[in-house]
Amino acid sequence: MTALLAAFFSAVFAAASTLLIKCFASRTDSTVVTAVQTFVMLPFSVLVCIFAGSFRTLPSTDLRSILFMTVSGVATGLTWLFYFRALKEGDADKVMPIEKANIFLAILIAVFFFHETRFFAVKMTGAAIVFLGLVFLLIGSLKASKGSAGSCRWLKYALLSSFFAGVNTIFSKLALAGMDSNFGTMLNTAVALIIVLLLITGEKKLTLFRTSPKKEILVVAASGVSTALNWLLYYYAVKYAPMSAAVPLNKLSVPMVILFSRYMLGSRIRKDQGVGLAGIVAGMMMVAVVA
């Protein structure tokens, strides 16, 4: 139960991070957002490891787990870069469901690779509903963007972010079988930071830091703390709860963002997009409840 609560609250912090960026840091370059968030997350996760005594588990951590978490960290860095780029190009209530759509892949992997076959028929039905919801959502988003020059660019970045988020989930699950979840979060963030630094070198990109609005940088830093809490709770849930439950509960950040965008920001949702979103949420909850 504790792990499932951790998965739920990880969704709350994931939604908060997305909304902070979209509402209060819209003028900051996506590369700068990724870099600042990662810089904030790493020392935060190190402090958590110190206070939790996670470094004492290092001698018992096997190299296989470290290798898997390193791969997960690379995927995390790429996920963030593409996700924040998608947020710059499109609306949060459209980007986030696409980025979180890797839940369909996560459910299949949980069933066939991690042998979470309890209530097999319900889980596969839920996965099918999620897939159909994604199809409706994609169709609705493309129709909504039709006729606007460059308006579909966000979709490409959102799909790439979703792919690498799926890779991250798979390898983090494998790694956490032999690793403390707090230490795993710190290692993942450290590797992601290296990836981000490799991609932002160059005078032109470094200039972006100097020209970014200072108030927005502070908001991005705050979102970094929220993202760090999201990942700490999420990896704890992935380690101690069934993957087919932890992942859907974490994805509840999708309806949280959509409802906020709809009622507080005035974002309009087409009928086919609404059907798709309802399908994704219904499928997620079917799987989470029986896992």
**Is residue 266 very low, low, confident or very high in pLDDT (cuts 50, 70, 90)?**
low
Sequence letter at residue 227: T
Q: Is the pLDDT of residue 218 over 60?
A: yes
Q: Is the pLDDT of residue 132 over 80?
A: yes
Which candidate, 178, 181, 289, places its Cα nearest to that of 244? 289
The mean pLDDT value for 192-200 works out to 82
Q: What angle do CA 283, 284, 290 make, to 5 degrees?
A: 95
- CA 184, distance to chain mean position in Å, is 16
Sequence letter at residue 146: K
Provide the token pair at 59. 């001698």
Within the chain, how many helices (H) and strands (E) appear? 13, 0
Task: DSSP for 95-131, please give it.
Answer: HHHHHGGGHHHHHHHHHHTS---TTHHHHHHHHHHHH
Max mean pLDDT range (52-56, 124-128, 134-138, 146-150)? 52-56
Sequence letter at residue 63: L
**Which region among 8-17, 19-28, 149-158 has the lowest average model confidence (pLDDT)?**
149-158
Q: For the chain, give the longest Cα–Cα distance.
A: 58
**Is residue 149 very low, low, confident or very high in pLDDT (cuts 50, 70, 90)?**
very low
The mean pLDDT value for 105-130 works out to 81
Q: How far apart are CA 166 and CA 223, in angstroms?
A: 22
Collapsing DSSP to helix, strand or coil, 241 comes out as: coil
Mean of per-residue pLDDT scores for the chain: 82
Provide the token pair at 248. 């859907």
Predicted TM-score of the model (pTM): 0.79
